[in-house]
Amino acid sequence: SIKAIESSSKEDDTTWLTYWVVYGVFSIAESFSDLFLYWFPFYYAGKCLFLVWCMAPVSWNGSQVLYQNIIRPFFLKHHQAVDNVLGNLGTKA
């Protein structure tokens, strides 16, 4: 998804691909932190509001904000290592 977002051909899929990248990172982080966070009051309501914010059809929605400020800089810093690992997995498979 990140490769599609960063490609030169921009279409309307960029919005949803951005959402799915943010959702994937959120799901991975949540799988580790869920054991502790579900004890907090209104955790599930906050989680629902967060996901609605990520899908909101506005220019400042959560997917765009989180992707542009956190995920994209991290990916651009480490994209060569990610490509190497994926290339090695492809040859081993």
Among the ranges given (9-13, 62-66, 84-88), the one the predictor scored with the smallest mean pLDDT: 9-13
Confidence bin at 60 (pLDDT 50/70/90): confident
**How confident is the model at residue 93, as a pLDDT?**
66
> What would the DSSP string read from start to end of 30-92?
HHHHHHHHTTSTTHHHHHHHHHHHHH-SSTT-HHHHHIIIIIHHHHHHHHHHHHHHHHHHHHH
**How confident is the model at residue 12, as a pLDDT?**
60
Residue type, 52: V
Per-residue model confidence as pLDDT tens digits over 18-59 = 888 899 999 999 888 888 887 888 988 999 999 999 988 888
Does 73 have pLDDT greater than 80?
Answer: yes
Instruction: Determine the Cα–Cα distance for residues 52 and 88; give it in Å rounded to an integer.
Output: 37
